[in-house]
Structure 1
Amino acid sequence: MKKEKKYKDISSSEKAALVCEWLDEKQGEDIVTMDVAGLCSITETICVVSARSLKHGQALADFVLEKCREEGIEFLGMEGYKPGDWILVDLNDMIIHVFQSELRDFYNIEGMWSEAERRNFCGEKPRE
């Protein structure tokens, strides 16, 4: 008897496209994904998104996790939810950073991974 898989197999680029679609649906702002495979030992894709308020940031994180449950996509955890100014969602091969705008500029995750290829899944111009 073959054991059924708990989570579905999905490529990193497919997962990134789905997550960007979900963040866009909930009006996440300045969505940027970066391909860090080969540059980072813990993940393949980093996604950064801005939220308009603490509640909006929490709603973005909640929605992503809800959709992952529905779609059978593995997620490992979340940090920073209660304070809400920087929420990190770990989807194993993809890490999502949900920031309040002023903190996003301060921590400059995109600058830390400036050598990573930017991917645009949401139809807007990637943030430089």
Structure 2
Amino acid sequence: MEDKIGQIATWLADKKGTAIRALDVRGISPLTEAMVFVTARSARHAQALADEIMQRLGEKKWEFFGVEGLQAGQWVLVDCNDVIVHIFQDETRSLYNVEGLYSKAADFELPEAVLAGEK
């Protein structure tokens, strides 16, 4: 699963997603094992990030169950089975503070290339 999270984070960073964070929610959330959070600049950027994730998952033949919020682009959720990707616009990410619900979750270590883009 760590490989999948690293790959997803890299795809998001390559498409200029920011503030990428991955949480290990095993034992905390009954829905999934990990959550990845990313901030998009606009609705169109959020949609492009979601499209990239879905296309790349398909190329790798990794299943995904669906996507929610794609039309509005404020908060797009991509359900990748064991990983849920939350794509937020900045103000929506702050407003809902979904990461705060999982404050006991440990962060997954992300690839250096992803972290380098944050500087």
Instruction: Output the TM-score relative to the length of structure 2.
Output: 0.92
The root-mean-square deviation of aligned C-alpha atoms, in Å, is 1.4
Larger radius of gyration, structure 1 or 2?
Answer: 1
How far did residue 122 of structure 1 move?
A: 4.0
The one of 89, 95, 99 aligned to 1:110: 99
- Give identity over the alignment, percent: 40
Give the paired residue count: 115
User: Going by fraction, where is helix more abundant, 1 or 2?
Assistant: 2
Instruction: Output the TM-score relative to the length of structure 1.
Output: 0.86
C-alpha separation in 2, matches of 1:67 and 1:103 = 25
How far did residue 34 of structure 1 move?
A: 0.1
The one of 36, 46, 51 aligned to 2:35: 46
How far did residue 98 of structure 1 move?
A: 0.2
What is residue 97 of structure 1 aligned with on the other side? 86
Secondary structure of residue in 2 paired with 1:43: coil
Report the CA distance shift for 1:90/1:26 in structure 2 as closer, same or farther (over 3 A). same
How far did residue 13 of structure 1 move?
A: 1.2
Q: Which runs of 5+ in 1 are unaligned?
A: 1-11
